[in-house]
Structure formats: structure tokens, C-alpha cells
């Protein structure tokens, strides 16, 4: 079994796409806006688990209790990139010498962890 996607209902589709493309580093895999839809799928590469964004202000996620984690090559560099984009990540947390991570919220209040 493989996880295919995680769905986030949003009231700000364009802001969410911009975050997942420019902050997380995902790419649009499927885009149904050109067909009058309100759904976009993003992933790093084809075949990877996708983030499905659905524009529906009535169901928009309000934040609390959901976190997604992404592995990066260099936690310190990624954190500095995010700060340069005007976002406010947490300080780097290192519970032991082999693990480092930090968090930042997406436009919907979803906590995104970079490990």
C-alpha cells in the first residue's frame, strides 16, 4: 500500500500553490483549473505522494492538528531560504545530534515540517 495524496481544502488556492511550489519545492502535476475546476495536485516528482489543493472557502482548513513533513538536504539552508521569502519558521530543533528540523505554517494553517 502507498499513500497517494493528502487533501487540503483552501480558501486561497493561489497562495497555497505559491507556498507549495516556492517554499516546499513541489511542482504542479495535475491542474484542473483550465477545465473550470478548482483542484491542483502537487508533488516533487511524478509518482510521489501528492498534495491535493481544493479551493472551497466553505470547507477551508482552519489549522490545528495536521502536520506534514518533508526531507531536505540541508535544514539550515532551507530555513534561511524560507526566512528570505518573508515567512517565520520556528527555530531549528535538534533532539539529538542526528536529527534537526523546524516548522512553518502554510497559508491555510497546516504545519509543515522540514527534516
Read off φ and ψ for residue 84, nearest 5 degrees.
-65, -25
- Give the dihedral sign, CA 22/23/26/28: negative
pLDDT of residue 75: 98
Angle at 80 between CA 75 and CA 81, to 5 degrees: 95
Residue 98 — left, alpha, or beta (φ > 0 → left; ψ -120 to 50 → alpha)? alpha
**Quick one: average pLDDT of 87-96?**
98
- The dihedral built from the CA positions of residue 31, 38, 23 and 7, taken in this order, carries a sign that is negative
Dihedrals φ, ψ of 114, to 5°?
-115, 120
| pLDDT tens per residue across span 7-65 | 999 999 999 999 999 999 999 999 998 777 799 999 999 999 999 999 988 887 777 78
pLDDT of 66 strictly over 90: no
pLDDT, residue 59, reads 82
- Say if residue 80's pLDDT is above 80: yes
Put residue 84 in one of left, alpha, beta given phi > 0 → left and psi -120 to 50 → alpha.
Answer: alpha
Give the predicted TM-score (pTM) of the model: 0.87
pLDDT at residue 1 above 90? no
Pairing of strands 111-114, 67-70: parallel
Residue ranges of domains in the chain, CATH in brackets: 5-57+66-114 (3.10.180.10)
| Beta pairing class for 27-31 and 93-96 | unpaired
Amino acid at each position: 500500500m502507498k499513500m497517494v495524496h493528502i487533501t487540503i481544502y483552501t480558501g486561497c488556492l493561489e497562495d497555497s500553490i505559491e507556498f507549495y511550489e516556492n517554499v516546499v519545492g513541489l511542482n504542479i502535476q495535475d491542474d484542473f483549473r483550465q477545465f473550470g475546476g478548482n483542484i491542483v495536485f502537487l508533488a516533487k516528482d511524478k509518482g510521489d505522494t501528492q498534495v491535493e489543493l481544493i479551493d472551497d472557502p466553505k470547507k477551508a482548513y482552519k489549522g490545528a492538528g495536521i502536520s506534514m513533513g518533508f526531507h531536505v538536504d540541508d535544514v539550515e539552508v532551507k530555513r534561511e531560504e524560507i526566512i528570505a521569502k518573508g515567512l517565520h519558521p520556528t527555530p531549528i530543533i535538534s533532539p539529538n545530534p542526528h536529527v534537526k528540523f523546524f516548522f512553518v505554517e502554510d497559508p491555510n494553517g497546516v504545519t509543515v515540517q522540514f527534516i
